[in-house]
Structure 1
Amino acid sequence: MIKLALKSVFTAGLMVLLMACSPLKVLNAFTPGTTFSRVSDLAYGPDPRNKLDVYMPKDVAADAPVVVFFYGGSWISGSRGDYAFVGEALASRGIVAVLADYRLYPQVHYQELLQDSAQAVVWTRGHIRQFGGDSGKLYVMGHSAGAYNAAMLALDPRWLATAGATPSIIKGWIGLAGPYDFLPIEDAEVKPVFYFPNSPPDSQPINHVSATSPPALLIASVDDTEVNPQRNTGGMTLRLRAQGVSVREVYFSRTTHRTLVGAFARPLRSLAPVLEEVVAFIHAQDQAQVSSVSVSH
């Protein structure tokens, strides 16, 4: 009881600190470096922002599952180094994590940043075995704007096609507080990324769901005031289910839009079992593949 109370006090104090300081740097400061090995600054394309970092479990075995993670930031800001706590969280559970930068507005619009994201995934598929990962167990995951990137790669075949691949290389996708259906755009910063007021309907992930879409795990915060969870997570879930696609829909009441991804960090994991949901989803897909293979034989 005392231990639980102290943990609650610590979490509350950390939340105050996060509001006062640069929150991602604070979370990274509490991230241990003993649970993973990292290879940094790997180039997957020609642009200076076409770089990624690979986080490997300390005792990585061959054929580990792989997650390519895309961060949020309204497609105008963000850096893979800010999300070391996500890489550590996944690596600590035996998953090889790839954190990728991509070009942002105003350098590019949404099409080009999706091309970068696709290129990062295809690079990962071609190189991940040397880091202990299994290219046949490849997942894409993102938070907020990054969840949009992950959704578009999983659902709209145009983007992986630009890198010579198809969505069939993706075993599943994970969206955290993702915007999947947001026209007309209300956020002034986001409008130019999507050519507002001429934002094309085919820029919306929800319009690309099909019966062949990969399985999905969609997580949101009940009281998210930045990305409407009912319209986006709820609407995407309904669309996937209507097409017979396997999807798990989860909502947490103690997280916000931002602390949903923050809950990967060790000090904030008591807010919600986000990491546990992700790991369980990946293991479930892997187990389904094993069962399918064993039945076919």
Structure 2
Amino acid sequence: MWIGILLILLAIAGYLATASPPALLSKYDAVIGGGREVALVGENVGFGDKGLTLDIWRSNAASNASKKPVLIFWHGGGWVKGSRRDYAFAARAFAQQGFVVVVPDYRKVPDVHFPDFIDDGAQAVRWVQDNIAQYGGDRSRLAFSGHSAGAHTAVLLALDPRWLIAAGVDMAPIKAVVGLSGPYDFYPFDKKRSIDAMSRYPQPERTQPVNFASTDAPPMLLITSSEDSTVRPRNAISLTAKLEEVDATVEMINYDGLDHEEVVMALSKAFRSKGPILDDSVTFLNKHM
């Protein structure tokens, strides 16, 4: 008996030593009941031709007879790390609010560089449009979201249509975007992660979402925070100003006192008291979807 308990404790210790902070948060979120009424209805589902997979979450109460709006959420990690599985806490949070949530993986630096991970994002959107109905999602009501590097993907795909068009995506169903702590205006590159991810592209200005602000952009909510020293608030401020200049629909919220990680942590049940990020995001999405 004691040997069995010891083996279990060693296994737990090994997991804690190797798991990423988002993965630990997802585990804890599940233990305390985060998303208790939602289910993982599609796991390790393949998309595109690069061997990538995605997960699909929805409310237990949802049925295929009543199609739900769809949110595609890209995880962060500076283009070098992270996994869809680590962000189950975010998927469960939005699924509990009535969305069918898709969390795709994408290839990482140094194996690939811009625009490969953007193309991966476009391929995920194409898969969603072709297949999400069988999981109870409404393919005519899509929204994009993501945190940090994932927000860059979500916003760039929405603003620069060439990636989605190349993937065969119909742009009309894209109704809204919520960017959490995303880098949108960071050229010239001055940090190792952006240099590694973006600098090989021969047209660096085309890596910047701020350069694609247009009147017909889908409505955007850009969330930032005053203590974010990783992706500074100026990114959201700059893109908001550019979108306002062309009369696009945009809102920005700067949460006072939160840092880069706390913005996405606040989606989890454990840390929701840090700020109304989930409520504000859902209100915006429901308004435009």
1:85-130 alpha-carbon deviations (Å, 9 max, x no partner): 0111011111111000011112211111111100101111111111
Task: Specify the alignment match of 1:100 in structure 2.
Answer: 104
Are residues 1:88 and 2:86 paired? no
Secondary structure of the structure 2 residue equivalent to 1:43: strand
Select the residue among 151, 164, 168 that pairs with 1:164. Answer: 168
For 2:203 and 2:75, the matched residues in 1 are separated by 22
User: 1:217, 1:248 within 8 Å by CA — same for their partners in 2?
Assistant: yes
Secondary structure of the structure 2 residue equivalent to 1:56: strand
Distance 1:119 1:91, change over 3 A: same
Instruction: Specify every segment of 5 or more residues in structure 2 that has no aligned partner in the other structure, as ranges.
Output: 1-15
Task: Specify the alignment match of 1:12 in structure 2.
Answer: none
Task: Specify the alignment match of 1:258 in structure 2.
Answer: 261
1:130-183 alpha-carbon deviations (Å, 9 max, x no partner): 111111110010110110000111000111022112533311111001100001
Task: Specify the alignment match of 2:24 in structure 1.
Answer: 26
Residue 22 of structure 1: how far off its partner (Å): 4.0
Please provide the CA RMSD for this pair: 1.7
Q: After the TM superposition, which residues 192-207 of structure 1 pair with which residues of structure 2 at under 5 Å, given as runs?
A: 192-195=196-199, 200-207=204-211
2:26 is aligned with what amino acid? N
Q: What TM-score, normalized by structure 2, do the two folds share?
A: 0.87
1:278 is aligned with what amino acid? S
User: 1:254, 1:272 within 8 Å by CA — same for their partners in 2?
Assistant: no
1:224 is aligned with what amino acid? D
Secondary structure of the structure 2 residue equivalent to 1:267: coil
Q: After the TM superposition, which residues 23-62 of structure 1 pair with which residues of structure 2 at under 5 Å, given as runs?
A: 23-29=21-27, 30-31=29-30, 32=33, 34-38=36-40, 39-48=42-51, 50-61=52-63, 62=66
1:246-280 alpha-carbon deviations (Å, 9 max, x no partner): 11111111321011001110010000011101110
Q: Percent identity, please.
A: 37
Are residues 1:220 and 2:224 paired? yes
For 1:197 and 1:88, the matched residues in 2 are separated by 35
In the alignment of these two chains, the number of paired residues is 265
User: 2:129, 2:169 within 8 Å by CA — same for their partners in 1?
Assistant: no
1:158 is aligned with what amino acid? R
Instruction: Specify every segment of 5 or more residues in structure 1 that has no aligned partner in the other structure, as ranges.
Output: 1-17, 287-297
For 1:76 and 1:23, the matched residues in 2 are separated by 15
Are residues 1:150 and 2:154 paired? yes
Secondary structure of the structure 2 residue equivalent to 1:266: coil
1:191 is aligned with what amino acid? I
Task: Specify the alignment match of 2:121 in structure 1.
Answer: 117
2:54 is aligned with what amino acid? L
User: 2:68, 2:137 within 8 Å by CA — same for their partners in 1?
Assistant: yes
User: 1:191, 1:197 within 8 Å by CA — same for their partners in 2?
Assistant: no
Are residues 1:178 and 2:182 paired? yes
User: 1:71, 1:144 within 8 Å by CA — same for their partners in 2?
Assistant: yes
Select the residue among 45, 63, 70 that pairs with 1:66. Answer: 70
Task: Specify the alignment match of 1:139 in structure 2.
Answer: 143
Secondary structure of the structure 1 residue equivalent to 2:167: coil
For 1:197 and 1:283, the matched residues in 2 are separated by 37
